[in-house]
Amino acid sequence: MAERIDGKKISAEIKEELKTEVAALKEQGKEAALAVIQVGADPASSVYVRNKKKACEYIGIKSLSYELSETSTEQELLDLIEQLNKDDAVNGILVQLPLPEHMDEDKVIKAISPQKDVDGFHPQNVGALVIGQEGFVSCTPAGIIQLLKRSGIEIEGKNCVVVGRSNIVGKPMALLMLRENATVTVTHSKTRNLKEICKEADILIVAIGKKEFITKEYVKEGAVVIDVGIHRDENNKLSGDVKFDEVEPIASAITPVPGGVGPMTIAMLMNNCVSTMRK
């Protein structure tokens, strides 16, 4: 039976460490402020934004809220970002995604100063990750590396299969596992023989966005299984991209949903914010 990797506990540990570090940095006169921009009032986004602001408060950094209406123009958002880019009191800028359809997400992300892009979405930060240079790293994949390391799971030399190739999770995840010296295979919806490829994985990371897609037929006995998916059914019950009940008995370690990968994203966002104070 698999060990359950407790993301809630590990994220709480990280936030505790950051809180202590922030207090020490403040003693040296260093401050940090995160600007959080939400456009419209998508309920899921509102929950995420609220939790991000709560985490800031907990670790001792300032959060500044900017709420733009659903009908605001792309130019209004770009102007706000420009103003925050120039503001020396603002260290981090986060635009909650998704944006309304009339806005170009790529253009908005590119408008954020790479030095303040705590989400790690700007092409300059993505490029830095590709060539192993310093920069902000996307929070969910960075959180997964922490989950593995803090659970004592060795990455070096392991066969890692990533299912999904999104810019936010799949692609940076593959690059981070490569940086940790895993042998990495990236798979996606057009991959042939997906089951066979997944079954070769020592570490299987699933971010495909399909509810309970990964059944036991995809998993090697003793594999580590990381589930990035989150799906809510009509009774508000959460499940992931992995059929947990079926996979748990054959894996050596597995992340539950909820309480696995989810809490790590905010912990790593806080780490990215604190990193702006360390300089």
Question: Is 96 one of the binding residues for ligand GUN (CB under 6 A)?
Answer: yes
Residue 221 CB-density burial (10 A; 0-12 exposed, 13-18 middle, 19+ buried): exposed
Question: Is 265 one of the binding residues for ligand GUN (CB under 6 A)?
Answer: yes
Question: Is 39 one of the binding residues for ligand GUN (CB under 6 A)?
Answer: no
Question: Is 277 one of the binding residues for ligand GUN (CB under 6 A)?
Answer: no
| DSSP state for residue 242 in the 8-state scheme | B
Residue 52 appears among annotated catalytic residues: yes
Report the residue number whose CB is nearest to ligand GUN. Answer: 97
Task: Report the C-alpha gap between 157 and 189 in whole angstroms.
Answer: 26
Cβ 266 to ligand GUN, closest distance in Å? 9
Within 110-169, the residues that bind ligand GUN by CB under 6 A are: 119, 139
Residue 216 appears among annotated catalytic residues: no
| Residue 115 or 183 with smaller CB distance to ligand GUN | 115
Strand partners for 163: 187, 206
What phi, psi does 208 have (nearest 5°)? -105, -15
Sequence-separated (6 or more) residues with CB below 8 Å from residue 116? 84, 85, 90, 91, 92, 93, 276
Residue 146 appears among annotated catalytic residues: no
Cβ 27 to ligand GUN, closest distance in Å? 30
Give the binding range for ligand GUN (CB under 6 A) out of 20-28, 53-61, 91-99, 180-188: 91-99
Cβ 120 to ligand GUN, closest distance in Å? 9
Active-site pick, 6, 15, 38, 52: 52
Question: Is 94 one of the binding residues for ligand GUN (CB under 6 A)?
Answer: yes
- Out of 64, 97, 128, 277, name the contact with ligand GUN by CB under 6 A: 97
Active-site pick, 15, 38, 96, 227: 96
Nearest one of 155, 158, 85 to 116, comparing CA atoms:
85
For the beta sheet containing 62-68, the strands, ordered from the edge strand earlier in sequence to the opposite edge, are 62-68, 33-39, 92-95
**DSSP string of 7-60, one letter each residue:** HHHHHHHHHHHHHHHHHHHHHTT---EEEEEEES--HHHHHHHHHHHHHHHHHT
Residues that bind ligand GUN (CB under 6 A): 94-97, 119, 139, 265
Active site residues: 52, 96, 119
